[in-house]
Amino acid sequence: MTDQPCYISTSTLKSIWQEYRIFADRLEFDTKFGRMAIPFKNVERVEVLDSDAKALFRGDLRLKNFRPAIKIDWANFLEHVVLDKKTGLVRRILFTPEDPEAFKKALQDAVARFQDRSSD
């Protein structure tokens, strides 16, 4: 594993002062419960969604493609990133980086670079 992150979402109030980092081969969440690492080979899909509370007020229960999820910050109330994993007990993680769209793009780019290197 490499030591220098290629993208850091610094800790803010909306992430409950947790930091999220993208490395060349993995994603790391520095949470109040400890560090969680997800290797890129386990990343299935990443998307940005609006607040779950806003969706609920519109009558959208978001039951399509429902998966049990871990929410590690204020993801219910703010625009957030949804990360689906290929394996594991819980395969969906919701979190709120400083800029969800920029984080998603940085993660997709890093995963693509990782896959290109792995296919060689």
CATH number at residue 83: 2.30.29.30
Residue 26 lies in a domain: yes
Establish if 2 belongs to a structural domain. no
Q: Does residue 106 lie within any of the structural domains? A: yes
With respect to residue 45, please indicate whether it lies within any of the assigned structural domains. Answer: yes
Domain count, the chain: 1
pLDDT at 56: 57
Domain assignment present for 20: yes
- Alpha helices in the chain, H assignment, sequence order: 52-57, 100-119
User: What are the two backbone dihedrals, phi and then psi, of residue 102, each rounded to the nearest 5 degrees?
Assistant: -65, -40
- With the CA atoms of 85, 86, 87 and 91 taken in that order, what torsion angle do they form, in degrees rounded to the nearest 10? 30
Give residue-wise pLDDT tens across range 36-90. 999 999 999 999 988 765 555 555 555 566 677 788 887 778 889 999 999 988 8
60: in domain: yes
Residue 53, class by beta-carbon neighbours within 10 Å (0-12 exposed, 13-18 middle, 19+ buried)? exposed
pTM beyond 0.75: yes
Q: Domain containing 64: what range?
A: 7-119
